[in-house]
Every structure is written in structure tokens, then in C-alpha cells.
Structure 1
Amino acid sequence: MLLTRASEYALLSLDTIRKSDRPIGAEQLANELSIPKSFLAKILQSLAKEGILESRKGAHGGFVLAQDVNEITVHSIILAAEGKAPAVFDCTSYSQTCPNGAIGSCAISPFLANFQTRIDDFLHGLTLGDII
């Protein structure tokens, strides 16, 4: 699967934020999770932009969950963290420029499409609450 540390860091951050009884800043999260602050800050901003987190300003500001853990899908977390939908194989994300022609023209294309659909359905049905 084409997932990077961004997805891992997003999930770890959301778990830590979920456990906190007050907003947590990016610097505190970065220190607690041993994640580079600048990288984590971008991930947190993306999660906030997608409505997964809420960013609170002020002296006691930081990030809090914007939704219940059972409403946040793993697909939406990956999409926010990675900046693109999860793809099982590279060719599912560049089907128009596939060296074997348009999607559907190679022998394994039906399998790839079916597999991607099953993964998408699974990730849409799996929530943050299911995995923590």
C-alpha cells in the first residue's frame, strides 16, 4: 500500500489527542511522539483542514478531535495525511498514463480494480474508534 509515515504519524497523533482532556499543541505532540515538529505540524494542519481536528488558538490552545472517534474513517485520515486517496498499486493512481495503455487493457487490470475497491470499502468502513 502506498502509505507513508504521514499516515502513521496521523494515527499516533489522533490517538494521543483523543486521550487528552485538553488541547495539545504540535510541539508537545512532536516531543511526546518523537516526530519532527515541522512535519507533524503539516499533518495536523491537513487533518484540521479536513475537519478531523479542530485547532484552538490562545494560551491554552492546541488540537482537539472535531468528531467522535467512531465517525472518523481511516480512509479520511489517510486522505488528509497523504494528500491523496490510498492506492494499493501505483498503476491504480496513474491509469491514464499507464505504459500498458488505459486501465482495463492489461491482464491483471480487473484484479487490481477489484482489489482496490475492496480496500477502499474496508477503509471507509473502518473508524478510528475501531483501531484504538
Structure 2
Amino acid sequence: MLFTKASEYALLSLIYISQQNDPVDVDSISNELEISKSFLAKILQSLAKDKILNSFKGANGGFSLSQNALDVSIKRIIECVEKKPMSVFECSTSKNDCTKAATCQVWNMFNTLQFKIDDMLDNISLKDIVTK
């Protein structure tokens, strides 16, 4: 499992947005965090589509959290921007995804690791990383 720049930028953006009192526009976030505006806009739109962010159009538009930061897990954020479930190994969530399941000697270890990582990231909220 590799966190991509999209995951990193999503987390940094959400931290920044959560610390603002008013909606924040893409230009401001892009400048503050030194992130490509076009790449950031795609990330923020994904977060808005999945209702992690509210999106406001117009002169005073921008983005704000759509819910309490305590209610948004890191796992949900990462899966939103990566557009797929987190996976330690390609078949770590299901033996059905593995063509070598009958003889695989490492699947149980990867599956156990997957459950631990899922549990950990499900239990870390955006608020947890904002307040640290």
C-alpha cells in the first residue's frame, strides 16, 4: 500500500480547510500548500463528490468541511482520492482475488495486516491529525 501524492495533498488540504472559519478557494489552498492548482482541484472535487467537503460556487465560493472533523476517518479520505479500497497487497482483502489462493503461503499474514491497517486508519479521524 502506497500513499500517493493525491492522498498526501488531500490530507494537507483538509487540515488547512478545517482550520479556516470560511470556505477556502482552490487558489488560496494551492498557494498556501504549494500544490498544483489543477491537481488540487481534482482532489477537492472528489472529496466534495463523496460529501467530505461542501463546495460553494461564485465570488465567495470555495470549500469547507461538510461534517465534523471527528467524523471523517483517514481511511475514508484516502479511499476517496485513490478511488479504490486500500490494499496492502493486491489480494490481501480476499482470496477470491488471487489465482494462487490454494497454495499461497503468505495470504493469511497479508490479510491480518490488512485488517490491522484498516482498523487503525478507520480509527484515526481528521480531527486527530489536526490537533497533533
TM-score (norm. length: structure 1)? 0.90
Distance 2:69 2:97 in 1: 38
Query: Structure 2 vs 1, CA of residues 95 and 5 (structure 1 numbering), >3 Å: closer, same or farther?
Result: farther
Match of 1:82 in 2: 82
Distance 1:126 1:110 in 2: 25
Paired residues of 2:95 and 2:107 also in contact (CA < 8 A): no
Return 5+ residue gaps in structure 1 as ranges.
none
Match of 1:12 in 2: 12
Q: Which amino acid aligns with 1:126?
A: I
The CA RMSD over aligned residues, in Å, is 1.8
DSSP 3-state at the match of 2:63: strand
- In the alignment, structure 1 residue 111 sits paired with structure 2 residue 85: no
Return 5+ residue gaps in structure 2 as ranges.
none
Paired residues of 1:104 and 1:110 also in contact (CA < 8 A): no
Query: Structure 2 vs 1, CA of residues 103 and 124 (structure 1 numbering), >3 Å: closer, same or farther?
Result: farther
TM-score (norm. length: structure 2)? 0.90
Distance 1:94 1:33 in 2: 38
- Residues 88-103 of structure 1: matches in 2 within 5 Å? 88-92=88-92, 98=98, 101-103=99-101
How far residue 31 of structure 1 moved from its aligned partner, in angstroms, is 1.1
Match of 1:32 in 2: 32
How far residue 95 of structure 1 moved from its aligned partner, in angstroms, is 5.8
Query: Structure 2 vs 1, CA of residues 29 and 114 (structure 1 numbering), >3 Å: closer, same or farther?
Result: same
How far residue 104 of structure 1 moved from its aligned partner, in angstroms, is 5.6
1:124 is matched with which residue: 117, 122, 128?
122
How far residue 89 of structure 1 moved from its aligned partner, in angstroms, is 2.2
Q: Which amino acid aligns with 2:39?
A: F
Distance 1:103 1:54 in 2: 43
Q: Which amino acid aligns with 1:51?
A: K
Q: Which runs of 4+ in 1 moved over 3 A?
A: 93-98, 102-105
Identity of aligned residues (%): 45
How far residue 102 of structure 1 moved from its aligned partner, in angstroms, is 4.2
Distance 2:40 2:95 in 1: 31
Q: Which moved more, 1:122-131 or 1:69-78?
A: 122-131
Paired residues of 2:25 and 2:62 also in contact (CA < 8 A): yes
